[in-house]
């Protein structure tokens, strides 16, 4: 909504890691229903077995899906050195910029792990928001670096999804 008020019950669909099935299974369903989504990419895994390649990620971006960073290699940012934390945050954003031709502003903490030092570095890296795995809802921009999400695991039924979004 880019500066506009959110609707009464906004839903943000996100897909972590850049797995191949995000492209082959989720993306066609999203397109069929005209649903936007954000795909968080592990830039060090692009093209590996089971992960999307750059052509697929660029195609999603060109179709209007948001692409965000999920670091280079999914390291717990709360348990690594400040130098490695900086590398994981900055270089993943740089790689995405190089491939997409525009900056990425969305970030997803690996395994949802973050603390104040990590939030500060995410901000310094130029990201505008970051999602966690903390369950919950957020309707304001009070904590743009700690946006909660409800996790949908394999086998989560439609009844549970509807319960969460109602």
pLDDT in tens, 70-126: 999 999 999 999 999 999 999 999 999 999 999 999 999 999 999 999 999 999 999
pLDDT in tens, 130-156: 999 888 776 556 788 988 888 777 777
Does residue 122 sit within a domain? yes
Does residue 46 sit within a domain? yes
pLDDT-derived band at 164 (thresholds 50, 70, 90) equals confident
Residue 38's pLDDT is what? 97
Domain that holds residue 18: 14-165
Does residue 45 sit within a domain? yes
Report the chain's terminal Cα–Cα distance, integer Å.
Answer: 20
H/E stretch holding 107: strand 106-108
Higher pLDDT, 1 or 36: 36
pLDDT in tens, 10-49: 788 899 999 999 999 999 999 999 999 999 999 999 999 9
pLDDT in tens, 52-74: 999 999 999 999 999 999 999 99
Please tell me the distance from the alpha carbon of residue 150 to that of residue 145, in angstroms, as a whole number: 16
State the total domains in the chain: 1
Tokens representing 9 are: 């019950």
- pTM of the prediction? 0.90
Q: How is 99-112 classified by DSSP, letter by letter?
A: HHSS---EEE-GGG
Residue 141's pLDDT is what? 64
Does residue 1 sit within a domain? no
- SS3 assignment, position 25: helix
What is the rounded (10 degree) CA torsion for 23, 3, 141, 87?
50
Please tell me the distance from the alpha carbon of residue 54 to that of residue 123, in angstroms, as a whole number: 26
Could you give the count of Cα atoms lying within 13 Å of 48 in the half-sphere of its Cβ?
11
Q: In CATH, what number is assigned to the domain containing residue 116? A: 3.20.20.370
Residue 139's pLDDT is what? 57
Does residue 5 sit within a domain? no
Predicted confidence (pLDDT) at residue 162 exceeds the cutoff of 80: no
């Amino acid at each position: 909504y880019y500066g506009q008020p959110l609707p009464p019950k906004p839903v943000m669909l996100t897909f972590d890691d850049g797995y191949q099935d995000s492209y082959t299974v989720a993306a066609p369903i999203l397109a069929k229903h005209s649903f936007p989504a954000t795909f968080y990419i592990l830039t060090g895994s692009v093209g590996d077995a089971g992960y999307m390649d750059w052509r697929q990620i660029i195609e999603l971006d060109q179709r209007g899906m948001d692409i965000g960073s999920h670091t280079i290699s999914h390291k717990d940012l709360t348990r690594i050195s400040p130098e490695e934390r900086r590398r994981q945050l900055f270089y993943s954003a740089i790689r995405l910029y190089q491939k997409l031709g525009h900056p990425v502003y969305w970030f997803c903490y690996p395994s949802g792990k973050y603390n104040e030092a990590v939030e500060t570095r995410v901000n310094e890296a130029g990201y505008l928001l970051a999602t966690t795995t903390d369950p919950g809802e957020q309707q304001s921009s009070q904590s743009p670096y700690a946006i909660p999400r409800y996790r949908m695991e394999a086998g989560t039924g439609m009844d549970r999804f509807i319960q969460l979004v109602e």
